[in-house]
Chains A and B, each alone.
Chain A
Amino acid sequence: MPVFNQSRSRIIRAIFLASFIVLIAQLFHLQVVSREYKRQADINAIFAKKIYPSRGIIFDRKNKAILNNILMYDLMVTPSEVKAIDTNYFCQLMEIDTAEFRKRIRVAIVKNKAFRPSVFEELLTPQKYARMEENMWRFNNGFFLQPRPVRLYPFNAAAHILGYINEVDTSIINRSNGFYESGDYAGRTGLEQYYEKVLRGQKGTELWIKDNFNRLVGHYQNGIFDTTAVAGRNLRTYIDVELQQLAEKLLTNKVGAIVAIEPKTGGILAMASAPDYNPNDLTGSSKQKNYSKMLLDVSTPLYNRAIKGQYPAGSTYKPLGALIGLDEGVITPESGYPCHGAYLECTRPVKCLEKWAGHAADLRLAVAHSCNAFFSSTIRKTIDNPKYHNPRIGLTRWKEYCNAFGYGHKLGVDIPNENGGNIPDTTAYDKEYRGQWNSCTMTGGGLGIGQDKMLVTPLQIANAICIVANKGYYYLPHFVRAIDDENEEDTSLVNKFRKKHDVLTHISDIAYETVISGMQDVTEIGTARGITKIPGINVCAKTGTAQNKRVLDKKVVELKDHSLFVCFAPREDPKIAISVIIENGGYGATWAGPMAYLLIEKYLTDSLRADRQKEADRIAAADLMPSYLTREQYKADSTRAYEWFKMTKDSSYIDKYTYEKVEVPFIPEKKSPAPPKKKSDIQYMVIIDDKSSRKKNHSVPS
């Protein structure tokens, strides 16, 4: 019988063969055709470990490091390896309780799996680090300290300039074309942000093989695909860190800003904004706490007033107004104005602080004594220039001049978030007056004396005075002088700062000399003559005092004047140009002027005389913080407490405001110190130049 079935052996072989062909076909599909499995395998088994480069360092003009990197330590835990440790002692060292300990371990397991190390506490304080370091041998099962480079600011200065670094958020990651990954740090403001690409360096990657529990078991292919980290490059800046420290010291307990620029290069020597903060507060273990505290502070210490604060230019505009008038040919150096205390040619009079005859006998005197009538008349002539027969063209021409001086647009300084200020044009007036306006409209509002719709930032004021000092040219104000190992991309980043802008060199030398002489007269016979001189240095300056109002508790309150001062020195070879604004500081020559003088002396002579040192201490000790801030803070805190109560029914915060009935006194009195801060809060301001010098000026013969 079996013989009959011999043919079946062939069928059986065929079945064997067919099955194998099916298997081989599937193998061919998996291994040769499909690329998907190869990719999946790499995702599975290769872990790209990031190697962080050290960030570039920023140096000042004398090559002192304004910021530096130090190592801080994260305490890491690998939950699966934690065994047989003295938890009580551990908690005692870490100042936590055992419940918190367990919670953190649980969080670590949930977030990162028990087999991989997670952060138990990041950036240990030096005390905790010292304790843990000493006792690490007890906790070697599962715990270790991981070094992490952190920024350090040895001078405790220049917080607003430098900015800070923080973990990247999703929008930064999305914009970076895959450069950043979650957990990376990037500059978030200031130079750290603007020069992020220079400072950050090149991240390195090490490819590691991981196993099914995500444990790293070794280098992939002995590291031939690894890339090494390239350290970030250093920045050399124009900043004079000692000058910066002095500027910040002078602004202690004040609201305002100081900008000092080297006119010949546009290099910013110092830029301070108050209130400010210690940059070291935003590194290290308590950075989050400090940051939230600053966010809730109504005096906004994180706000850089030097580039963002928009103020009326006030009398500091007058040298520019004079130059525009001279270049347009509507006035001459010999032009005067018969001012007797006011400009009365328009329906709204513009008051002048000087009443005595001859204080505006010629341009130089008008600048020295800051005659409002003279400059109101000048801007009217500029707008009604007979050359153009049309105030619209006149106003447009005037705006072009202002823009050339750097007003009305962002300058493009190398720190982000600058504001552009405002220079009004015909559309602004058309809108407000429905096309029915003439040169009197803005003159009456005070455009001729830097008011009306004109708003400028302290940086713009300083830059404009650089143009005056340079007699027509300027470089964009900037901090960075050079980048170490500069490459093409860096060059394109900083090239705009190396370009000379000959914006107003066509104005005649005579015009510049006249205005500069007038500015020198300000310090000798004019509004700023009361400030102690620096021997051997001719300072050219212009004071400014700005009346301001503010809505407080639904009432418009007139607050103490802003104190403005702008100057450059020495006259013969300008090396420094400074603008100072102290909100609610009173007269220009009271606070802002002396501050600028101290800075000039410090910068040009590299030190302060002993009595000047005392003067600096006196100014630093003065508390000019507006009293309304206390009231505003109280309102903000109690409102927040109420919102919190509404949301959570947790009354612990609101109780303080409900039951204790804390009365925060606020006396809305004009002379009490108090300032506005934000653009929206500034209603409008009237500029009245130095009242203090009024009586004294009577004794000066005209």
Chain B
Amino acid sequence: MNEKNPTISKGVDWSLAWIYLILVTVGITAIFAVTYKEGDPIVQSFLGFKTDYSKQFYFFIASAIIGVFILLTDSKFFTATANIWYAFGIFLLLLVFPFHSSVKGTESIIRFGGFQFQPAEFCKICVCLALAKYLSRSDTEFGTTRSQLIAAAIVLFPAVLTLMQSETGLALVYFSFFIVMYREGLPSTILVVGFSLAALVVATLLVEKNTLALILTAIALLFIFFSWRVIRRKRYILFNVILVWLICVGVQRFGVPFAFKHVLKLYQVERIYSTVGKEIPAEYVAAHRKETTQKAKKTDTDYNVKQSKIAIGSGGLTGKGLLKSTQTRYGFVPEQRTDFIFDTIGEGFGFIGSVLLLGIYLLLLFRIVTIAERQRSVFSRCYAYGVASVFFFHLVINVGMAIGLAPVIGIPLPFISYGGTSLLTFSILLFILIRLDADRQMVLR
């Protein structure tokens, strides 16, 4: 291939390509380990397009072909068409509303022929391109609040649409783009405030209401006490402290309960509580009286996380071996091929295998960040950070939910989870990055 078309390989970052290959291979092996039944002829079933691993194999070939096509295109194409892609992505998302087919409770899938297509997955590429495009515009002053709001809107509009399709997990992915914005100059205070709010919400879940209010008050009073001298000179600090205290207590007393009662669905509340390992307070269940038909889901979610932890935990240090797993091979963990594929690695290859896999991912992320930093073009850099952010979010949440650290919001593990759309999306994301990186020596865009 190199000889026929030397322009393809020129400047290609081969380390990324190798990591990509390794991860896809691991993925197909893991799916094989889950679905292979003793006695099946391996070669035939690999080529037969009947089993999941065979399908994933063909998805990989399709991704590779598309990847080659991407490498053949001019990198300017992506800069030029970024906004069109965004429009197209939003269009597809809107198309879901009249044409979706209900599969497994989600409303985000379009069917044509024998194939299913999930625009919400695909739209990540569009948003990544569009955000990069907007941030790299020469007349964008990202320091201004206005442009920050526009960037946030670019990211959050598809997120809202995805949320409307009951795909909470995929919607949350869009929040990862704030990492890109941070890199491009979003004030750190926003990050700090964001983290503090998150910490406050988690604290609300864990600590009893009145106790938490007392703790917050105590912190505020202590702060006032120790900075009394300063406050005497600058009164507005006192007002700020009181304001922050009011907001905190407000969020804790009214904000979170309101969200849990009226914004989130009961099963989502259940998942969140199941993650922190606590019973749902009765008042939240009572607020969702109408949904009590979904009561059974609670045990489901608990069961998933419990079985997943058992599967991973039973792997031990070195694991049981590829086809010798008991938990993942015999259907104890639901959604084994897709959302909980990490269990297969955890049980089959143990702690060592899991850490090795996470190491490969970390290598991928660091490599992407390195690549991002060596770009001359802002577009390429922003795009690279976008890719890294999306991968990072998927990784942390997916592995986190498998080991009981994150709520169960079904999002796939990049390159490894079974699923055509997700493999294609991640492949395209990566190949576009490789293409852009290959042209890094070109003029600034």
Q: Identify the A interface with B (CB < 8 A).
A: 1-2, 4-6, 8-9, 12-13, 15-17, 19-20, 22-24, 26-28, 30-32, 34, 36-38, 40-42, 44-46, 209-213, 217-218, 220-221
Contact = CB atoms under 8 A, between A and B. Distances in A.
Interface residues of B, number: 49
Among A15, A16, A221, the most chain B Cβ lie within 10 Å of the Cβ of A16
A31 B313 contact: yes
Interface stretch (B21-29, B242-250, B324-332): B324-332
B346 A27 contact: yes
A542 B400 CA distance: 91
B365 A16 contact: yes
Nearest to A4: B185
Interface string B345-389: 010001100110010011001100100110000100100010010
A41 B182 contact: no
Nearest to B334: A212
17 contacts: A2-B381, A4-B185, A13-B369, A16-B366, A27-B312, A27-B403, A30-B312, A31-B315, A31-B351, A32-B317, A34-B313, A40-B314, A44-B327, A45-B327, A46-B326, A209-B330, A211-B332
Contact residues of B: prevailing secondary structure: helix
B312 A16 contact: no
A23 B399 contact: yes
B381 A38 contact: no
A220 B329 CA distance: 13
Given A26-B404, A31-B315, A218-B38, A20 B182 contact: no
A210 B330 contact: yes
Nearest to A210: B330
A619 B373 CA distance: 114
Contacts of A1: 141-143, 185
Contacts of B346: 27, 30-31
B348 to A, nearest CB: 12
A184 B369 CA distance: 65
B401 to A, nearest CB: 11
Would you list the 4 A-B pairs with minimal beta carbon distance, nearest first? A37-B313, A41-B314, A211-B330, A45-B326
A41 B310 contact: yes
Given A12-B179, A15-B179, 7 more contacts: A16-B388, A19-B392, A37-B310, A40-B314, A42-B314, A45-B332, A212-B330
B309 interface: yes
B183 interface: yes
Given A2-B184, A23-B399, A30 B313 contact: yes
A17 B396 CA distance: 11
A13 B389 CA distance: 11
B355 A27 contact: yes
B358 A24 contact: yes
Contacts of B373: 6, 9
Given A2-B184, A2-B185, A4-B185, A27 B354 contact: yes
B296 to A, nearest CB: 16
Nearest to A27: B354
B5 to A, nearest CB: 33
Contact of B313 (A5, A15, A24, A36): A36
Contact of B309 (A5, A15, A30): A30
A210 B332 CA distance: 10
B33 interface: no
Given A31-B316, A37-B310, A37-B312, A23 B396 contact: yes
Contact of A23 (B183, B350, B388, B403): B403
Contacts of A28: 351
Interface in B174-189: 179, 182-185
Interface string B291-313: 00000000000000001011111
B182 A8 contact: yes
A15 to B, nearest CB: 8
A23 B358 contact: yes
Contact of A38 (B182, B313, B399): B313
Contacts of A44: 307, 310, 326-327, 332
B351 A27 contact: yes
Given A31-B316, A212-B332, A12 B183 contact: yes
Contacts of A8: 182-183
B354 A5 contact: no
Contacts of B315: 31
B405 interface: yes
Contacts of A40: 310, 313-314
A212 B396 contact: no
A699 B355 CA distance: 112
A680 B184 CA distance: 101
A40 B179 CA distance: 40
B326 A209 contact: yes
A12 B182 contact: yes
Given A23-B403, A31-B316, A212-B330, A2 B378 contact: yes
Nearest to A218: B38
A22 B38 CA distance: 37
Among A8, A31, A42, A218, the most chain B Cβ lie within 10 Å of the Cβ of A31
Contacts of A221: 324
A151 B308 CA distance: 47
Given A37-B309, A209-B326, A32 B179 contact: no
B367 to A, nearest CB: 11
Nearest to A38: B314
A40 B303 CA distance: 13
Given A27-B312, A30-B313, A209-B326, A19 B396 contact: yes
A34 B350 CA distance: 13
A523 to B, nearest CB: 77
A26 B316 contact: no
A333 to B, nearest CB: 84
Contacts of A13: 366, 369
Contacts of A27: 312, 346, 351, 354-355, 358, 403
A212 B307 CA distance: 10
Contact of B317 (A2, A16, A31, A213): A31
A294 B403 CA distance: 61
Contacts of B183: 5, 8-9, 12
A34 B312 CA distance: 11
A45 B330 contact: yes
B310 A212 contact: no
A31 B354 contact: yes
A19 B378 CA distance: 27
A78 B330 CA distance: 20
A9 B182 CA distance: 10
Given A32-B317, A209-B326, A212-B330, A9 B372 contact: yes
Contacts of B141: 1
Contacts of A41: 310-311, 313-314, 326-327
B332 A30 contact: no
A211 B326 CA distance: 8
Interface string B36-55: 00100000000000000000
A42 B310 CA distance: 10
A19 B400 CA distance: 10
A12 B176 CA distance: 12
Nearest to B347: A41
Contact of A12 (B185, B312, B314, B369): B369
A2 B181 CA distance: 11
